[in-house]
Amino acid sequence: MPAELRFHTVDAGESPQESKQIEQLLTESDLGWDSRVETFVVCRKGAALVACAGIDRNVVKCVAISPAFRGTSLSLQLGGELLKVAMERGHFHLFLYTKPDNTVFFRGWGFYPLVEVRDKVALMENSPIAIRRYCSDLRALRKHGGKIGCIVMNANPFTLGHRYLADVAAESCDWLHVFIVREEASMFSYAERYELASQGLSHIKNITVHHGSEYIVSRATFPSYFLKGKCTVDQCFTAIDLLLFREHIAPALEITYRYVGTEPACPVTSRYNKDMKHWLETADSRSPSIEVVVVPRITLRGSPISASEVRRLLQNKSLQEIKEMVPETTMCQLINCFGDQRRETEMTDGDDH
């Protein structure tokens, strides 16, 4: 029965005055204001704001507690409140970024370490078994022996470029695993992207096309990939996504090679590809290296074929020009959708290769 602590939520943009107080508390804790936070759970004692924790969809961030209240029961109350607020907003499976030193603290909130970039950042999730279950599901689809390769693609939409990359990879591997990015942040829905990729890759015999997950190029593992119109990449975040791949996903499927196309157009993807060599091959990790194979892009009349170019042409209603850049299955779909009416083409983002 300590003096009364009151918890409530502050939605982004709801109260400039409270936002300012939150920002001040974050600054005191060496944390920056994050504009992607949708809601803050804040704790007040009397008029004073003594703690806050933010949620950006299913990602917890900006957790700060006023020094006088650290090590008290407040932190656990805050963790509980946060969980309930996230639940009410439909987020049950949560991720959390923090400094590696703080992972012990967040164990108390029911978060478990997933992956860590030494001295920089750690990603945790609020389940002791979710990643284990996911990997055991993957293991059931494992193909033993020889050279096992992997491609992660957004396929927004699936082009001849994607097909070429997969052909090259499948040719040089005994088995190829392809993951389609699951996050719904693209012009084409996940269902469409998955369907077109499956169709466009159906001619390859030694391939498994996997559904994507929260553990591969998702808002949780790679937030900057989904930032509209911004091409800044936080190195730590590419590291998180790539180490998660190296330490959890690749071992489950015995993947030893990862294939990417060269990336001339999109800075985010370009940076991601560059970081890939570092984090998959040379960086310190508890898991063995994964060799990164960069495959030059297939070109059409001197220009590389890319999904972003296809989307650009779609915006200009140049369906005819697209015909030579995508397989027939994709073309049929494009004609179905864009033949007469124009679809909103706003949600464009990083291309994959």
- 140 near other proteins, rule: CB under 8 A: no
For the bound state, the minimum distance from the C-beta of residue 7 to other proteins, rounded and expressed in Å, comes to 10
For the bound state, the minimum distance from the C-beta of residue 79 to other proteins, rounded and expressed in Å, comes to 5
* Window contacting other proteins (CB under 8 A); options: 38-46, 72-80, 178-186, 342-350: 72-80
Residue with tokens 């015909």: 323
For the bound state, the minimum distance from the C-beta of residue 137 to other proteins, rounded and expressed in Å, comes to 9
Choice between 76 and 335, CB closer to other proteins: 76
For the bound state, the minimum distance from the C-beta of residue 9 to other proteins, rounded and expressed in Å, comes to 13
Pattern 15-54, other proteins, x by CB under 8 A = ----------------------------------------
The token pair at 92 is 């049950």
Distance CA 120, CA 105 (A): 16
- 1 near other proteins, rule: CB under 8 A: yes
Number of residues that bind other proteins (CB under 8 A): 18
For the bound state, the minimum distance from the C-beta of residue 185 to other proteins, rounded and expressed in Å, comes to 23
Choice between 3 and 191, CB closer to other proteins: 3
For the bound state, the minimum distance from the C-beta of residue 113 to other proteins, rounded and expressed in Å, comes to 13
Site for other proteins in 75-134 (CB under 8 A): 76-77, 79-80, 83-84, 87, 92, 108-110, 126-129
For the bound state, the minimum distance from the C-beta of residue 152 to other proteins, rounded and expressed in Å, comes to 23
Pattern 222-251, other proteins, x by CB under 8 A = ------------------------------
Distance CA 18, CA 269 (A): 36
User: Between β-strands 5-11 and 39-45, what pairing exists: parallel, antiparallel or unpaired?
Assistant: antiparallel
Choice between 106 and 164, CB closer to other proteins: 106
Residue type for 249, please?
Answer: I
Crossing angle of the two packed helices 190-200 and 160-172, in degrees rounded to 10: 50
The token pair at 271 is 């940076």
Choice between 111 and 245, CB closer to other proteins: 111
Strand order through the sheet with 175-180? 207-211, 175-180, 148-153, 257-261, 291-295
Residue with tokens 């949780």: 220
Distance CA 108, CA 60 (A): 14
Residue 53's DSSP bridge partners are 41
Q: If we measure between CA atoms, which residue out of 11, 4, 91 comes closest to residue 50?
A: 4
* Alpha carbon 183 to its chain's center: 7
- Hey, CA dihedral for 15, 21, 24, 26, is it positive or negative? negative
Choice between 125 and 275, CB closer to other proteins: 125
The token pair at 201 is 């890759």
- What are the residues binding other proteins (CB under 8 A)? 1, 3, 73, 76-77, 79-80, 83-84, 87, 92, 108-110, 126-129
